[in-house]
Amino acid sequence: MPRELTVEGLTIDPEFAAFISNEALPGLEIDEQEFWQGVAQIVNDLTPVNQALLVQREVFQAKIDAWHLSHKGQAIDANAYRSFLEEIGYLEPEGEDFTVTTKNIDLEISDIAGPQLVVPVSNARYALNAVNARWGSLYDALYGTDAIPQDEQGPSGNYVPERGEKVIAFARRFLDRSFPLASGSYADAVSLQIVDGALVVVLSGGQVTHLAEKKQLAGYRGGSKNLRAILLRNHGLHVEIRINRNSLIGKQDRAGIADLVIEAALSTILDCEDSVAVVDTQDKIEVYRNWLGLMKGDLSQTLEKKSQIITRTLNDDRVYRTCDGGRFTLRRRALMMVRNVGHLMTIDILRDEHGNPVFEGILDGIFTSLMALHDLDRPGGLRNSRAGSIYIVKPKMHGSREVAFAVELFSRIEQLLELDANTIKIGIMDEERRTTLNLKECIRAASERLFFINTGFLDRTGDEIHTSMEAGPMVRKGDMKTVPWIAAYEDWNVDVGLACGLPGHAQIGKGMWAMPDLMSDMLEQKLIHPKAGANTAWVPSPTAAVLHALHYHQVLVSERQELLAGLERATLEQLLEIPVAVDPSWSAQEIRLELDNNAQGILGYVSRWIDAGIGCSKVPDIHNVGLMEDRATLRISSQHMANWLHHGICTREQIMESMQRMASVVDEQNAGDPTYRALVTQKNGGDDLGGSLAFKAACDLVFEGSQQPSGYTEPILHAMRIKAKQRA
């Protein structure tokens, strides 16, 4: 049994202490005793500050509740409301203009625009897939999804040539648009060669042509007689045309093109927060062990696929020849960032002198940075940050004081680990109302280490509902995307980011496409993100990253940002418009449908969280459309139901009746999963839900929703998951 360790009043879980001693510290020139003393000093010094920030949240909420109650039944006076928020300090004074000064940023952040993946770091296979999604097959992405209508009938699993021809035609059109020839089309190509450092394309009529912009040829693999790949570059992104006349596709292609391999996920966020279910020491060690393996470059995962044993590891870099005869390498891994938890939750891997668990956000900052030292200390090989930085995304911060607290934490960690100032970079998730309204001051608080701001519609809406709980019943959830503040919020994030000089220093990001099976819709709609001036946006899978990358070949984001920087900003008045229903006279059927939709989504997600410890997965919605669900989606659904209950739009009995009916629907949707634990069981000859901790958690999230801190779901989920693990 590992020894228990007590330092400066802190008691460290013996299993966790052994993990740090035996796995995290070896290879680093760090004295273990001095390290733990430093950890204790940080925890002891910053815990009271963290506690005070959480108290301030509750003080603000109480004052806002009281204001709405005092104006109940009245139309909201926008000027009076704004003055009130300024008076209590919720709305901060906006200071003078400034420009961020972040240095030592990798090119994937500072110079190149492209997709970003978010993946639970608790799952090693998913994590490796996401990091290796820097490159992906366009042919596979098109053939295997509805990006091209799936109307061909053929034997399951067999190649359908008619569909393949449509894929190839799509890919040729992409080449024509992104890498145009001086004359003709790639559709007519019969040969591609590198001659005297240039791409030579022979067309079907014998015409010889070349790239209209010769500088788009970045390199190649192979030689003149065995050319294997041609590397093209557009808007900073690469595309590899693979030549293989012996492959299934290549031998049927007149030019021998076997595939287009797209540079796709430039970066990936390894998530310790919304997409994981981490509640105790064992869970936390699993998360940290995977992050440590990624930082060391030795994480691997063995699995069985098609009756073969496969071991997945991080991709090596790839070497290309240049047009002048030299050589260069391209990395085949996404730049890795890690999302820590926010300021709210605690975890008992460390306990204070009173036996209380320590704030998890403080510990995440310390230990994910410690493990990233293995990357910073590595001279070459599979190094993550070539600029020598650690990238930590910090979620769920409320206002500039909480950002300043995170900056202070990172500064203390740098001192502990003997790192240069501002080595640890911060990404600000703009997903809480107080952060949105005070975004400029939030950025100012992190101006020397900021690398990222990102909108998050779902968490932001959940916080909007909770903050304005007493203002009145909210519009239906499906109508939320049409209310004025949503568009203002998305524009405001870009406007403020550009005004603060983020281009060249930090990413301006957009949120997730939540429907991984609807790639045709994504191709049509997600182009709006680079057009909006965002140089990254979240996608739900490596396949989606490949397809979303096509948008960044269509739009040069740096040009869009220059154009948008001169336009008028969104306004605070628009942001402060609360989405209260003007005429909440919905029919009984409309109310029932709304409750069913929310209840089914809550139960579908919570059942996996509580019973299986799955924090993010594709969950069928009420129409059996698979949606990527995490705690952000849960927050908006539970807060919306809590709001309607609070204002009498529905009753507790109506909600319970909906929950009970939807429990059977969710059980049926998961009937094919042998690991799924049913919500509804049989007892005394009838249906019983009393034994399901997941069902109880789902109900608690609604019935206790208005009392949860900022409407967060974590306290209830964690408590119930711990009970489920104890029961198991």
504 and 479 share a domain? yes
566 and 641 share a domain? no
Residue 381: its pLDDT value, please? 81
Give the range of the structural domain holding residue 723, as residue numbers without chain letter.
588-727
The predicted model gives 516-543 an average pLDDT of 97
pLDDT greater than 60 at residue 152: no
pLDDT greater than 60 at residue 153: no
pLDDT band of residue 18 (cuts 50, 70, 90) is very high
Neighbouring CB atoms inside 10 A of 231's CB total 22
pLDDT greater than 80 at residue 682: no
Residue 39 counted as domain residue = no
pLDDT band of residue 204 (cuts 50, 70, 90) is very high
The predicted model gives 689-695 an average pLDDT of 88
In this predicted model, which residue has the larger pLDDT, 156 or 662? 662
The predicted model gives 126-132 an average pLDDT of 98
Active-site annotation holds for 677: no
pLDDT band of residue 156 (cuts 50, 70, 90) is low
Residues 217-253 pLDDT 10s: 999 999 878 899 999 999 999 999 999 999 999 999 9
371 and 406 share a domain? yes
Residues 275, 338 contacting (CB under 8 angstroms) = no
Q: How far apart are CA 539 and CA 90, in angstroms?
A: 33
Average pLDDT, the chain: 95
**Which residue bears the tokens 């605070």?**
572
pLDDT band of residue 155 (cuts 50, 70, 90) is very low
Name the E strands within 100-235.
116-120, 135-137, 189-195, 198-203, 208-209, 217-221, 229-234
Q: What is the pTM of this model?
A: 0.97
Residue 83 counted as domain residue = yes
DSSP class per residue in 106-123: -HHHHT----EEEEETT-
Residue 687: its pLDDT value, please? 64
602 and 566 share a domain? no
597 and 700 share a domain? yes
The predicted model gives 309-331 an average pLDDT of 93
480 and 606 share a domain? no
629 and 566 share a domain? no
Give Cα 211 to chain centroid, integer Å.
37
Residues 49-75 pLDDT 10s: 999 999 999 999 999 999 999 999 899
Residues 620-665 pLDDT 10s: 999 999 999 899 999 999 999 999 999 999 999 999 999 999 999 9
Percent share of the chain, pLDDT over 90: 89
**For the chain, what is the domain count?**
2
280 and 429 share a domain? yes
Residue 329 counted as domain residue = no
472 and 388 share a domain? yes
402 and 291 share a domain? yes
596 and 491 share a domain? no
Residues 134, 546 contacting (CB under 8 angstroms) = no
Residue 714: its pLDDT value, please? 97
- Identified catalytic residue from 163, 289, 339, 677: 339
Residues 203, 522 contacting (CB under 8 angstroms) = no
| One-letter amino acid of 416 | L
Write the CATH number for 566: 3.20.20.360
Residues 435, 442 contacting (CB under 8 angstroms) = yes
Residues 475-519 pLDDT 10s: 999 999 899 999 999 999 999 999 999 999 999 999 999 999 999
Residue 507: its pLDDT value, please? 98
Residues 587-626 pLDDT 10s: 999 999 999 999 999 999 999 999 999 999 889 999 999 9
Residue 570: its pLDDT value, please? 84
Neighbouring CB atoms inside 10 A of 287's CB total 23
427 and 297 share a domain? yes
pLDDT band of residue 686 (cuts 50, 70, 90) is low
Query: Of the ranges 13-22, 103-112, 478-487, 707-716, which one carries the lowest mean pLDDT score?
Result: 478-487
Q: Which helix (H) or strand (E) holds 335?
A: strand 335-339
Write the CATH number for 721: 1.20.1220.12
Q: How far apart are CA 692 and CA 663, in angstroms?
A: 10
- Identified catalytic residue from 630, 635, 677, 700: 630
Neighbouring CB atoms inside 10 A of 322's CB total 14
Residue 224 counted as domain residue = no
Active-site annotation holds for 630: yes
Residue 349 counted as domain residue = yes
pLDDT band of residue 722 (cuts 50, 70, 90) is very high
Residues 331-353 pLDDT 10s: 999 999 999 999 999 999 999 98
Residue 476 counted as domain residue = yes
- Residue 313's alpha-carbon distances to 126, 299, 300, 546, in angstroms, are 11, 6, 5, 20
Residue 421 counted as domain residue = yes
Residue 346 counted as domain residue = yes
